[in-house]
Amino acid sequence: MSWVLTGVALVLLIAVGLILLRALRGPTTFDRILAVNTMGTKTVVLLVVIEFAHGRADFLDIALLYALLNFIATLVILKYVEYRRLD
Amino acid sequence: MQWNDWLTILCVVPGAVLALGGAIGVLRMPDFYTRLHPAGKSDTLAQLLIMLGLSFQVFDEGTTTPGLTLSRLILISAILFVTAPTATHAITKAAHLDGLKPWEPGHPVPPEASSSADHDADLAARPDSPPADSDEPTRPSATPGHDV
């Protein structure tokens, strides 16, 4: 069972690499924000897959924390880009 | 292989294919508003399928705390299911308020400014930025470099 999950993790890594290419190419700021947000979602899934592939029981907590942080970070970056301040 | 392993493969492999397809879509779509579709929709379904497939692994004999693992999986999936489309919607609304025009068929594809890294250069390189919303009172139109 572990080899299937390792293959899924590799596919997710390839997907994160493609989205990172989009984040580097731009062309607008919102493309980069969207790419980083999508990368965060895929990272959460990747952490959960690694947890089940290798039996690391603490990766689920890290994934839970990252899922919460990713949403807040996206909103904060959007607000900063729109208003140039955070208050 | 047990019965739950086959169920896991049945759910996880389409999820991985959807995730890869969404990534290719984000890379290949012509402009920003079309890139929202693979980023917002296929990712949500992909994470739902992968989490569903992995939740069958809880029924293995070697699992020490199956209830705790299952509840955390459901919690992560529910959080992603709510926050990922919400974040995509927030990005879309911010881009719309910023005056980004959707690409229409027949017009040239917007150029990829690969070297411009900051927001002002991106705004300057945008093909047609309308000054329509510059008189909105909540927006800092007096910010230097923000007026196009």
The encoded tokens of residue A18 equal 């493609």
Contacts of A67 (CB under 8 A, 6+ apart): A40, A41, A44, B76, B79, B80, B83
Residue A10: its pLDDT value, please?
93
- Using omega within 30 degrees of 0 as the cis cutoff, is the peptide bond preceding B14 cis? no
B65 — pLDDT class (breaks 50, 70, 90): confident
Structural domain including A60 reads: 2-83
ipTM > 0.85 (yes/no): yes
The encoded tokens of residue B103 equal 């690409």
A to B CB pairs, distance under 8 Å: 160
Q: Mean pLDDT across the stretch B5-27?
A: 91
More confident residue, B61 or B19: B19
Inter-CA distances, B93 with A62, B1, B87, B118, Å:
30, 48, 10, 20
The pLDDT of residue B59 is above 50:
yes
Q: Tens of pLDDT along B69-117?
A: 889 999 999 999 999 999 999 999 988 888 878 877 777 666 664 444 4
Cα radius of gyration rounded to whole Å, chain B: 21
Q: Is A7's Cβ below 8 Å from some Cβ in B?
A: yes
Render B83-107 in DSSP notation, one character per residue. Answer: HHHHHHHHHHHHHHHTTPPPP-BTB
Residue type, B71: S
Q: Mean pLDDT across the stretch B66-71?
A: 86
Chain A stretch 10-69, residues whose beta carbon is closer than 8 A to a beta carbon of chain B = 11-12, 14-16, 18-19, 21-22, 24-31, 33-35, 37-38, 41-42, 44-45, 48-49, 52, 57, 60-61, 63-64, 67-68
Residue type, B66: P
Per-residue H/E/C for chain A: CHHHHHHHHHHHHHHHHHHHHHHHHCCCHHHHHHHHHHHHHHHHHHHHHHHHHHCCCCHHHHHHHHHHHHHHHHHHHHHHHHHCCCC
Total-model pTM: 0.77
CB contact under 8 A, A44 and B47: yes
Q: Tens of pLDDT along A10-68?
A: 999 999 999 999 999 878 888 999 999 999 999 999 999 998 888 777 888 999 999 99
Inter-CA distances, B11 with A5, A28, A44, B52, B88, Å:
12, 35, 17, 7, 25
More confident residue, A6 or B100: A6
The pLDDT of residue B50 is above 90:
yes
Render B41-63 in DSSP notation, one character per residue. Answer: IIHHHHHHHHHHHHHGGGGSTT-
The pLDDT of residue B129 is above 70:
no
Q: Domains in chain A: how many in total?
A: 1
Where b means 16+ CB within 10 Å and e means fewer, A6-36 reads: eebbebbeebbebbeebbeebbbbbbbbbbb
